């Protein structure tokens, strides 16, 4: 069974990982901006009563989930970067071993 060539573009793997991290930050910023706008709306519209208390609970849940999402996306990006770096170092070590083993 022929699986063909395996090729990696380590700079693209690194770019994908850092891109994920950058996008995670952008998402977190957008979520924070939305939360701030929504909070202003609620404070101007429902500053008393049960609506205000319900919003406080919802805002706490929103904030926790937003932080968790950002942490997860940052972690995925970091894993992609470190995985690519590990693949690259393994590739270099194997090339060195093959080069030295061939007596060159």
pLDDT tens by residue, 12-47? 988 999 999 999 999 999 988 988 888 888 778 766
Longest Cα separation, the chain: 82
Do residues 31 and 11 make contact, with C-beta atoms less than 8 angstroms apart? no
Chain segment 39-88, per-residue pLDDT in tens: 888 778 766 777 777 878 888 898 899 899 999 999 999 999 999 999 99
The pLDDT of residue 103 is 59
Res. 104: pLDDT tops 80: no
The Cβ of residue 17 has, within 10 Å, a number of other Cβ atoms equal to 20
pTM summary value: 0.70
What ranges do the domains of the chain cover?
12-101
**Domain 12-101, CATH number (from 3.30.70, 3.90.79, 1.10.287, 1.20.1740):** 1.10.287
């Amino acid at each position: 069974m022929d699986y063909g060539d395996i090729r990696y573009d380590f700079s693209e793997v690194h770019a994908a990982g850092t891109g994920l991290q950058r996008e995670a930050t952008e998402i977190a910023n957008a979520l924070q901006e939305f939360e701030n706008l929504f909070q202003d709306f609620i404070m101007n519209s429902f500053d008393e009563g049960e609506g205000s208390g319900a919003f406080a609970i919802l805002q706490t849940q929103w904030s926790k989930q937003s932080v968790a999402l950002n942490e997860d996306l940052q972690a995925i990006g970091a894993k992609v970067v470190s995985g690519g770096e590990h693949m690259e170092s393994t590739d270099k070590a194997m090339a060195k071993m093959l080069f030295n083993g061939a007596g060159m």
